Structure 1
Amino acid sequence: MHFVIMGCGRVGSTMASQLDSRGHSVAVIDQNPEAFRRLSSGFQGRKVKGVGFDRDALEQAGIDEAYAFAAVSSGDNSNILAARVARETFGVEHVVARIYDARRADVYERLGIPTVATVRETAEQMMRRVLPGVITREAEDPSGAVALVQPDVSEAWVGTSVAVLEERLQVRVAWLSRASSAIVPTASTILQEHDRLHVAVPTDRLPAVQRALSRPPVKEA
């Protein structure tokens, strides 16, 4: 598969080098040719000097044959513009843009442009490690109606089945992380100590779900 990446900073060069090492065709676009030095020494892909939303640069990078396009430069406006050009002008189906401003990220997600809000996601990950009771959003559908989250779960839920948790909280457990592995649970899967849940939740119920999981489960009469 062919991938086009705009921005050869730390993120872009890492992505490009990893994709290249896995045998994929890769093209990297950056205005500064010095940035290409960040690529791995064995990088076999294309290096295109230019702006990632310029048609000529994109065509040199092989955008017409691209399976996916990632805009990971240091500018929000450039990333969004490039992502829109890749999708709307060249019809690339798999497009993602890195965004620093979380408010913009939410707007563009609703317009159907997947984004990675780096500041928000980093802050949430850090908060999760220093403060109990914080719910970490891992993904959100473009409409904003459903989020995939990793909630903070009270140890009192250990021993509860996935079926009971889903029924009581009206959520869906997508998978759980256990030690160094991941498990797609069944209804009878029992929560163990130190399990980390990854749960699909309607966004309007996030506060209620986190409150419920941070407390012992209510015993049925």
Structure 2
Amino acid sequence: MANIIIVGCGRVGSELATLLSQNDGNVCVVDRNAEAFSNLSRNFNGTTLQGLGFDEDVLIRAGVEEADVVAAVTQSDNSNLMVVEVARRIFHVPHVIARLYNPARERAYMQLGLDYVCGTSLVAEELFSKILSGHGSHLDTFGDFEILRFSLDLSVVGMKFARVSELERSHGIRIVAFERRDGSASSIPTKDSVLYHGDSVLACVRHDLLGSFSKYMQM
């Protein structure tokens, strides 16, 4: 389970926090304004902490010393930069991501070696995709859907094979193509196609269903 700190609980931060907590992430959301936490969905199952996200003591209380990811998504480029620099340089967090409003600063962020997302549209989905990289191979984000390629893990449910129709009906996904584990065949499936443990699968999965379906993705 990844330990993730999100600084900023506006529309982007709250949506990102919900997506990650539903995907079994251990999420702590930090915001200087306690009222901002009302933006969080009822499905959010992480923790919240009021305080300045670039304050070292606040970050320690949020769990930065054990964090795998820190994402700074406040409405201030300066604050976001301070957050990720403190997380990276002082606490050596392995993956930091900053939201960037001003495209003129992109070159500076690149020179600093910072991972960032620039723009206001689909920001939460792009950040989510970056953090989600451990779940198979993320190919693209399309509206409310993630397009993924992964090895099918049926051992978690004690099965050696399953029909495409069963997986799609039970989990609300769409399986686009598959390839046998040994590479002997690949195909666009029908509802009656049978998938085996270890087969490579190309699938379209809705954001809100990804958490429950991720157990079928071999890491």
Query: How high is the TM-score relative to the length of structure 2?
Result: 0.54
Q: Secondary structure at the match of 1:92?
A: coil
> Hey, what does 2:8 align to over in structure 1?
7
Matches of 2:35 and 2:107, distance apart in 1: 33
Unaligned runs of 5+ in 2: 123-174, 179-219
> Hey, what does 1:89 align to over in structure 2?
90
> Hey, what does 1:104 align to over in structure 2?
105
> After TM superposition, which residue ranges in structure 1, 4 or more long, deviate above 3 angstroms?
180-183
Deviation at 1:61, TM superposition (A): 0.8
Residue 39 of structure 2 is aligned to residue 38 of structure 1: yes
Q: Secondary structure at the match of 2:19?
A: helix
Deviation at 1:43, TM superposition (A): 2.2
Q: Secondary structure at the match of 1:59?
A: helix
Q: Secondary structure at the match of 1:95?
A: strand
Unaligned runs of 5+ in 1: 123-179, 184-221
Q: Secondary structure at the match of 1:29?
A: strand
Deviations 1:49-105 (A, max 9, x none): 011100111111101111101000000000001010000000011111011111112
Matches of 1:111 and 1:5, distance apart in 2: 21
> Hey, what does 1:69 align to over in structure 2?
70
Q: Secondary structure at the match of 2:53?
A: coil
Deviations 1:135-165 (A, max 9, x none): xxxxxxxxxxxxxxxxxxxxxxxxxxxxxxx
Deviations 1:185-205 (A, max 9, x none): xxxxxxxxxxxxxxxxxxxxx
Tell me which amino acid in the other structure corresponds to 1:99.
Answer: L
Q: Secondary structure at the match of 2:114?
A: coil
> Hey, what does 2:26 align to over in structure 1?
25
Deviation at 1:181, TM superposition (A): 5.9
Tell me which amino acid in the other structure corresponds to 1:105.
Answer: E
Query: How high is the TM-score relative to the length of structure 1?
Result: 0.53
- The verdict on how the C-alpha distance between 1:53 and 1:181 changes in structure 2, with shifts beyond 3 A counting, is farther
> Hey, what does 2:201 align to over in structure 1?
none
Matches of 1:182 and 1:35, distance apart in 2: 42
- Aligned length in residues: 126
Matches of 1:78 and 1:101, distance apart in 2: 13
- Identity in percent: 43
Tell me which amino acid in the other structure corresponds to 1:80.
Answer: L
Deviation at 1:46, TM superposition (A): 1.5
Matches of 2:74 and 2:4, distance apart in 1: 15
- Higher RCO, Cα 8 Å, sep 6+: 2
Deviations 1:167-186 (A, max 9, x none): xxxxxxxxxxxxx9699xxx
Contact 1:5 / 1:29 at 8 angstroms: preserved in 2?
Answer: yes
> Hey, what does 2:117 align to over in structure 1?
116
Matches of 1:13 and 1:55, distance apart in 2: 22
Deviates more, 1:107-116 or 1:75-84: 107-116
